[in-house]
Each structure stands twice: as structure tokens, then as C-alpha cells.
Structure 1
């Protein structure tokens, strides 16, 4: 428990440093951004200058323009470049795999509802660019059984922009008068569209903690609208792994694959889920 608190303090320090660093924009930055304005237009270019009042955007089509901050609806980083036909838009759903989370969190105001096999229901919302909360319920009330309910919190921060992020979080739930949950930490190496996340944590029931578990997850964007997903857990020397993909359906997505384990008497259990955004673009 003390180790987790120490990691959390370090994480908060890194977050403070990264927030200060993000206020400075380099004029030599060649990263492409897509800026959506409140009048319905969008512009693609590099940010020459950025402050609290406006941004200066260098575009190829109409030259350098200045956009007032109060007219900006959203700014998204573009993956790839315009010339290599990989103008893939930012996707908030890369914050999660099948069940676990990456250290790339939701941005402020982003949110989603995730349903798996009708019974598993999760909601998540970005309070800030680095902190998100959520809640979930297992819909066992369909069978006149008491439904477990849980609440989540996650703190993330970049260490090296688009290359290394770290995070920590927790889950707290109740069922039939019992409490359960877990605390965890993770590191994500790579970008939002091609990454590997390694994590560790410990679960508890009524305040009694169990042995550590390990998590290994990966995300690879194979095309504009398709991702390969891996989400694996090692619990008491037993491996459980979700293997499959994610297909984008507009701003929603369909997740599908198999849950496999040496403990199963079958090759795998089919997984099917749907994720819907809860925020406007």
C-alpha cells in the first residue's frame, strides 16, 4: 500500500511538470493538428503559436491563420501525415483495451458507455486531461439477483509526449454487503495507435489485499477504422487473455474476440462489446 502511495506522489509530480511543459509551444514543431471551430469549419496545419487568447496555425491551403481561443471547439493531433494517406483522426477509445486501461487517459469532457454481452456495463468520463472517473454495473438483476456495482478513478500523465505515459488507478465496488476492488499502476510505451502497456496491482475483499497480479496489453491501429487488441492478465500464476479487434463505426466502436485461458476446457469464450461516445465532437 505504501509503495502505491509513493508511486501516486511521483505521478502527481510528473503531471505538474508536464502541465507546465505543455504551455510552451515550439515554433519548430511540425506536428499536424486539426482544429474544429464553433462555426462548423475545420483547419489542418502546424501550430506556430498558442496562448490563452488565440492560436496561430500554418496551413497549406490558406496560409497562416489566427483563430481566437473562444472560437475553438476542439483540437486533435493527426496521426501520420497528409502526404502518406494516413490522415487518421484522433480516437478517444484508445484509452481502453477490452477490459483494462492504458496510461493514455480520456481528455476533459470526453466520455463513453461500454456494454459487453448486455450484462457488463461501464461508464467513463474525463474530469481533466489527466483524471477520469467511472462507474459500472453487472446486470444480474435480469435474473432477480443482486447486482454488483463499482466505481473507478484513473490518473495519467505523459513522461515523453506520444512515447511514454504512466498512470495509476483504482476500483471500488459492493455486492451483498461485501466490498471489493483493486489498486493498480501502469506504463504505456508507444503512441495512442501503437502501444504496449505493462501494469501491476492488487485486489482486495473487505479490505484484505491479495497477491499481486500483472497485466500486459497492446493496441495496434492497422487501418483508419480497425485496431488489433491484446489484453492479458496473470493472476496466481494463471494467464487469462483477451485477443481480438476493434472496428470503428463512426465515433462508436465494436469490440470482438476470444477470452482464453489454460483453465478453460474450451479454446476460448467469444467476446462482443459496443462502445458509444457520451460527448459531442
Structure 2
């Protein structure tokens, strides 16, 4: 991989991720004013900047931005009208960014009690299950490709270095192409995610392998997610490996029971450049694990 080509790849990936964060900065601020009373007797006035499952980021009128957990809130009032804290918490469940990107889970992983079925292009199928809050397992397959049936398993361990701010993940994809000439393939990787579950950026590295032999070239990944509205998240997942480069810019839209993904994949290889549409769906599933 040449230095110039690597620099170009890094520039494109960072440009895509920067676009995500700039779009979030432009519209994230909620102009509606709120009054929040907490259990310790404090009252705050201002705007909601970011909404998560367990907390909100609140821009106060006089002391700047603060993080307030829902468990610490007595009352939320909007324009003089009281809003039930529990109902408000439930209504914001969809603000959580998806735990899956395109080909792998995000830096925050899939939590215990959750699972996701994914399908892309009607041929790529995968089920991701949260075994614990820090360990998930994926099972995937594709229809027959040139007489073989690719199947794979994707375990992943996530470690919160700083809760909801910095996460480290390590995982692998371990596959086999079943058929007359059976072959194995896979990937081992690690990544570091900075930000919260809804808005973050990830940098990772790994090694691909084929028939048990590691590829000498290093796989580098740049990924990120930005929540831009209640039901829409922008996702970018990008890879570089030797002379192969993959960039993406995807919209993940929540339709309650089914989430739709659509956008573009851009390939840069020795054989030329190729842009393909991405269309897929993600179905959240509650489990009893």
C-alpha cells in the first residue's frame, strides 16, 4: 500500500466521518425549552442536547452542559406542561443508535437481552445476539456462491474503558465455505470507540486469514454513527486492506419493528472504482438470555 494511497484513503474516511458529526452539530440542538427538577432539589432550565436510554445531556441557561440520569429526575416540564419522566424515558428509546453497522457490530456491541436479524441485498443474512452486556455472538450465511455455502460466526467482546464515552472491542469473523471444495476464511480485529452509544467514532485494525494463513497486510477500519433525529442515524463504515478500499455512507431509519438501511458503498481497487447502492433491513428482537 503506497503512502499516497493510504493518505488518500484516510482522508476520504475522515471526510465521511466529519460529515456525519457536522450534520449532527447542525441539527442536534432541541430549541424547545425545558424545566427539570432533580431528586436532590435542584431545578435547571434550558435545552436538551442529546437523549440516551439512561440519561440526557442538558444545556442549562447558567452553568453550561450537564448530564442528568433519568433515575435522578423528579419532573420534566416542557413549555409549562409536565411530562411523565417514565413516559419520556420510554419515548426516547428509539434515540439509541443501532448496535450494528453494515458488516459488524458497533464499538458498543449488542447488549444482553437484545438481538438483531440483518439482511442486505436479500442475500446476506446474520443474527447477532447479546449474551451478556459485554459479549455478543453473530451467526451468518449467504446463498450458494459458485457451488459453495458460506457460513460464519462472529464473537465479540466489548470493554467499557469510560462508561458511554470510550469503549474497546475485540472480535473475529470465522467462516467456512461449505461445498465440494471446502475452505475457511476469517478476520480478527480490535477497535476503539470514542463518544456515546448514539454518536461516536471508531478506529480499528485487524488481520484477515484464509485457510489458516494470516494475510501479511494490516486491515484498518474507520467507522462512526451520528443520531440526527429521533428515527434516523447516519453510519459510515470504511476499510483499507492492501490495494482494496471500501467507503460507505448509510442512512439507518427506524420504523419501530423494522429498521431500514439505505445508502452507497464505494469500492476502490486495482481493477477500478465501483459504486453500489446498499439496501438492507435490521429487525430488533428481544431475547430471554
- TM-score bin (small chain): 0.5 to 0.7
* Count of residues paired in the alignment: 216
Residue 106 (1) aligns with residue 121 (2): no
Stretches of structure 2 lacking an aligned partner (at least 5 in a row): 1-38, 43-50, 56-67, 77-85
Which residue of the partner structure matches residue 261 of structure 1?
Answer: 267
Match of 2:194 in 1: 189
Given candidates 61, 69, 74, the residue that maps to 1:59 is 74
For the residues of structure 2 that align with 1:274 and 1:280, how far apart are their CA atoms?
A: 19
Match of 2:133 in 1: 129
Structure 1 residues 135-177: Cα deviation after superposition (integer angstroms, max 9, x where no partner): 1001227x8x321000110000211111110110011111142
CA distance in 2, matches of 1:218, 1:202: 20
Q: In the alignment, which residue of structure 1 is the partner of 2:79?
A: none
Runs of 5+ in structure 1 lacking a partner?
1-26, 36-43, 49-57, 62-74, 80-86
2:70 to 31, 46, 52: 46
1:47 partner SS: helix
Q: Indicate if the aligned counterparts of 2:190 and 2:206 stay in contact, CA closer than 8 A.
A: yes
Say what the alpha-carbon RMSD is for the aligned residues: 3.3
- Alpha-carbon deviation of 1:94? 2.4
Give the alignment partner of residue 161 of structure 1, picking from 163, 166, 181: 163
Deviating beyond 3 angstroms after TM superposition, the runs of 4 or more aligned structure 1 residues are: 30-35, 75-79, 90-93, 264-267
Q: What's the TM-score once normalised by structure 2's chain length? A: 0.66
SS in 2 for 1:170: strand
SS in 1 for 2:286: coil
Does the CA-based 8 Å contact 1:33-1:76 persist in structure 2? no
- Residue 153 of structure 1 aligns to a residue in which SS? strand
Q: Residues 162-216 of structure 1: CA distance to partner in whole angstroms, max 9, x if unpaired?
A: 1110110011111142111111000111111111011111011111000210000
The answer to whether the 8 Å contact 1:131/1:156 transfers is yes
Corresponding residue for residue 96 of structure 1: 100
Q: TM-score normalized by structure 1?
A: 0.68
